[in-house]
């Protein structure tokens, strides 16, 4: 998606270890116009799958998920929680994921009442790196006896393994920007290049 790639080049910055900082439009301050455009792009790709629910992980996936849900006719969004609270239902699906970026394990939880058996679920998230978050969400969909109908990602880091792994399984994946290389401020998208 050209608009996203342009903003990555103009407002993103490259940190050590292949990390891209996108706080000014995606991870801290939100560019609402761009986020709604991304939601429309995901909706256009996955409309034919007729998803019933969008599933994401807190925090940065929520805005994108909501924009997509709106573009799909205001279907519900469910987000996996990363913290455990005493008022949480006991009927929670849990998955442990390992964050390469944060170098720690994290348990994500979803109340199974919010993913009815047999429902068609679209996963939306901001980043795809090693695919741990998506793997965890897929585990939750399985526990709910629901059906995964697609995966929409804003920024895929093509130099990590997540995208490869999901495509090898034949899963319907749409990444709006795929970064194949990020080195010394030079960014190579799967089809264009730029300096950040």
Q: Which residues bind ligand G4P (CB under 6 A)?
A: 19-22, 27, 57, 59-61, 99-102, 126-133, 157, 162
Q: How far is the CB of 61 from ligand G4P (least distance, A)?
A: 6
> Measured between alpha carbons, how far is 4 from 156 in angstroms, rounded to an integer?
12
Closer by beta carbon to ligand G4P, 21 or else 147: 21
Closer by beta carbon to ligand G4P, 42 or else 127: 127
Residue 51 CA, chain-centre distance (Å), reads 16
Q: How far is the CB of 113 from ligand G4P (least distance, A)?
A: 23
Three-state SS letters, 158-188: CCCCHHHHHHHCCCCEEEEEEEEEEECCEEE
Closer by beta carbon to ligand G4P, 99 or else 145: 99
Closer by beta carbon to ligand G4P, 113 or else 142: 142
Q: How far is the CB of 117 from ligand G4P (least distance, A)?
A: 26
* Residue 62 contacts residue 82 (beta carbons within 8 Å): no
Continuous H helices in 12-161: 32-46, 61-71, 132-143
Residue among 181, 196, 164 at smallest CA distance from 25:
196
Closer by beta carbon to ligand G4P, 52 or else 128: 128
Q: How far is the CB of 20 from ligand G4P (least distance, A)?
A: 4
Q: How far is the CB of 16 from ligand G4P (least distance, A)?
A: 11
Q: Which residues pair with 106 in a beta bridge?
A: 97
The phi and psi torsions of 169 (rounded to 5 degrees) equal -85, 0
């Amino acid at each position: 998606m050209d608009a996203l790639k342009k903003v990555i080049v103009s407002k993103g910055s490259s940190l050590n270890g292949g990390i891209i900082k996108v706080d000014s439009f995606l991870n801290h301050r939100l560019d609402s116009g761009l986020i709604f455009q991304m939601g429309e792009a995901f909706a256009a790709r996955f409309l034919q799958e007729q998803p019933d629910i969008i599933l994401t992980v807190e925090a940065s996936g929520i805005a994108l998920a909501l924009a997509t849900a709106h573009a799909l006719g205001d279907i519900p969004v469910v987000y996996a929680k990363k913290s455990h609270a005493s008022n949480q239902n006991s009927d929670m699906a849990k998955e442990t994921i390992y964050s390469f970026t944060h170098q720690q394990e994290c348990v994500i939880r979803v109340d199974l009442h919010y993913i009815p058996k047999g429902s068609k679920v679209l996963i939306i998230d901001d980043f795809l790196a090693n695919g741990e978050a998506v793997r965890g969400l897929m585990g939750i969909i399985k526990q709910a006896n629901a059906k995964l109908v697609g995966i929409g990602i804003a920024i895929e880091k093509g130099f990590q393994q997540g995208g490869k792994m999901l495509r090898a399984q034949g899963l319907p994946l749409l990444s709006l920007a795929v970064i194949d290389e990020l080195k010394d401020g030079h960014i190579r998208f799967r089809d264009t290049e730029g300096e950040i």
